[in-house]
Amino acid sequence: MHEAACHCGAVQFRVRLLDGFDWVWRCTCSYCRMRGAIAVSARLEDIAFVQGEGNLTLYQFNTGTAKHYFCKICGIYTHHQRRSDPSLFGINVACLAGVSPFDFAEVPVVDGVAHPSDTGGGSRQVGVLRFEALE
């Protein structure tokens, strides 16, 4: 279980990750491209809110299938119910205690523009986001 919270701490939760950090990703869809978060997966039943669930706000667009949640106080995206598999949440790694998006040297980027739910195919990697510390 990982402890997690938004920036201001109003929303706090615990989550068990589906694959740990074996699969982290970014997405190219219009919303994810602007939000810029790195995500990991969890089953819907593997997230438990410790406090502040009422401080979450929901955003949906396009088909309305994906449900994007963020703190209505600090605005940080915490998680989303995935469109490609609504039985899973995507969790913002930056909300996990002791984890930073900069902990991952390479992050696969998946094609959210040609979404698998629209094309009938599987998820397709279209690139890699790299981070190299200058220290």
Which overall architecture, per CATH, does domain 2-104 show? Beta Complex (2.170)
Which helix or strand (DSSP H or E) is residue 117 part of? helix 116-119
What does pTM read for this prediction?
0.91
Alpha helix locations (H) across the chain? 30-35, 116-119
pLDDT band for position 117 (50/70/90)?
low
First to last CA, the chain: 31
Name, in order, each residue with C-beta under 8 angstroms of 64's C-beta and a sequence gap of 6 or more: none
Asked if residue 3 lies in contact with residue 97, where contact means CB atoms within 8 angstroms, the answer is yes
38-95 pLDDT per residue, tens: 999 999 999 999 999 999 999 999 888 899 999 999 999 999 999 888 999 999 999 9
